[in-house]
């Protein structure tokens, strides 16, 4: 891909600002270098772009998170293969919320209706590009991850895996030590070489994906199956196509060390560097959450349940009497039973107090949930005020370069 100076990518959908920052940084870098950019669509993934999360208020005016199911979701099937359906109308949010939320939901619906595409991945990608048009200096080339293994670089990677599948597995699992939570280890199977797992997905008759084996890879090459790359094989092939720096978010910045090590050690590829870019932006929702007023209530309830006496030391006296009684004797067991009977009786006398504390605890838990909603940074980017969004992009997108670690 001559002329490409920067790449990035993500799953199809309306991303949160942290992901959108990658797109802004990619566009700015390409424009400054008078070059082009390429965006990888991870359409082999099985996430749910069809489910749009948004904040709202319930009937009592409390902040809640709701979900708009744009079209029926067929989870477990890659978005590249999920057929598009009739869109449901955008929800109407409470009028007291920031106006950008309703405006964003309406714009998402309008964009999805105005573009073309027969699959979930195609429609959401096109709609996202449609809404970004006024904010970008150029349209990037779009590459579908579901087709990466059909490229020359993808075919070379598959050939290398089939040449030494056990070596592929060994290096893959060794590479995961650099980021143990980044992905699942490959399994060696029952001893049959064809049962060794490879870093790809195979699709069953219902288009659902499962981890592919050497046997699946061979069958797909012969035309009796379809394979798609798993994450690190995907980025290894993609990054090798252009030789251009790739922009990742904070998660990818941590995990891509696995790709670098596996590609270098097993595929013999020295991949180009990465940059890490992100943006933290919250909707103005703090006014819908009261501050916490009863810290430590859980511990207070626990104390009341297990030591319900007002006077200090009463339970300790019981414990000392039990400890001094002969071991394995009836007296010790009897004292233990009497202590718990006394505790239960004392708790009954403080039932009203305990119930009041439990109501306070429930209110605190509900307030904590609302606080988490108010402070979330993961709403779809069209729900944010455009001025706030652009200010965040300009403030955070030009993050410092971070080369991949060996």
**What's the pTM value of the predicted model, to 2 decimals?**
0.82
Residues 73-95 have pLDDT tens digits of 888 899 999 999 999 999 999 99
Element (H, E) at 373: helix 351-374
Angstrom distance (rounded) from CA 214 to CA 282:
46
**Which residue spans within 233-357 are E strands per DSSP?**
245-248, 274-276
The proportion of the chain whose per-residue pLDDT surpasses 70, expressed as a percent, equals: 95
Highest mean pLDDT out of 17-21, 73-77, 329-333? 17-21
Contacts of 73 (CB under 8 A, 6+ apart): 48, 50, 51, 82
Q: Looking at the predicted structure, is the pLDDT value of residue 292 above 80?
A: no
Task: Provide the CB-side half-sphere exposure for 276 (13 A, CA).
Answer: 12
Residues 214-258 have pLDDT tens digits of 999 999 999 888 999 999 999 999 999 988 999 999 988 899 999
Angstrom distance (rounded) from CA 211 to CA 200:
6
- Range scoring the smallest mean pLDDT among 25-39, 146-160, 185-199, 349-363: 349-363
Tokens of 187: 């399994």
């Amino acid at each position: 891909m001559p002329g490409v100076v920067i790449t990035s990518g993500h799953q199809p959908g309306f991303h949160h600002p942290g992901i959108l920052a990658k797109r802004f940084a990619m566009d700015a870098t390409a424009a400054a270098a008078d070059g082009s950019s390429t965006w990888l669509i991870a359409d082999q993934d099985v996430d749910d772009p069809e489910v749009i999360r948004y904040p709202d208020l319930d009937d009592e005016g409390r902040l809640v998170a709701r979900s708009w199911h744009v079209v029926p979701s067929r989870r477990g099937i890659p978005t590249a293969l999920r057929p598009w359906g009739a869109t449901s109308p955008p929800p109407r949010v409470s009028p007291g919320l920031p106006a950008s939320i309703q405006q964003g939901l309406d714009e998402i619906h309008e964009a999805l209706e105005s573009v073309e595409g027969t699959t979930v991945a195609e429609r959401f990608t096109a709609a996202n590009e449609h809404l970004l048009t006024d904010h970008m200096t150029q349209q990037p080339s779009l590459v579908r991850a579901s087709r990466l293994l059909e490229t020359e670089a993808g075919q070379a990677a598959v050939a290398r895996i089939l040449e030494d599948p056990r070596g592929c597995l060994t290096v893959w699992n060794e590479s995961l030590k650099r980021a143990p939570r980044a992905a699942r280890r490959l399994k060696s199977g029952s001893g049959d070489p064809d049962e060794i797992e490879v870093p790809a997905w195979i699709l069953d008759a219902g288009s659902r994906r499962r981890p592919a084996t050497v046997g699946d890879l061979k069958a797909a090459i012969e035309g009796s199956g379809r394979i798609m790359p798993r994450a690190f094989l995907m980025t290894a092939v993609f990054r090798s196509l252009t030789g251009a720096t790739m922009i990742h978010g904070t998660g990818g910045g941590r995990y891509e060390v696995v790709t670098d090590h596996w590609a270098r050690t097993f595929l013999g590829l020295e991949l180009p560097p990465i940059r890490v870019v992100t943006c933290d932006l919250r909707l103005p929702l703090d006014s819908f959450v009261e501050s916490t007023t009863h810290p430590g209530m859980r511990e207070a309830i626990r104390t009341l349940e297990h030591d319900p006496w007002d006077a200090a030391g009463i339970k300790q006296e019981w414990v000392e009497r039990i400890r001094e009684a002969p071991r394995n004797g009836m007296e010790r067991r009897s004292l233990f039973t009497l202590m718990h009977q006394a505790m239960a009786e004392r708790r009954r006398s403080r039932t009203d107090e305990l119930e009041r504390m439990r109501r306070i605890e429930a209110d605190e838990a509900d307030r904590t949930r609302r606080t988490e909603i108010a402070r979330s940074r993961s709403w779809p980017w069209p729900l944010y005020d455009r001025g706030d969004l652009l200010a965040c992009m300009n403030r955070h997108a030009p993050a410092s370069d971070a080369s991949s670690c060996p």
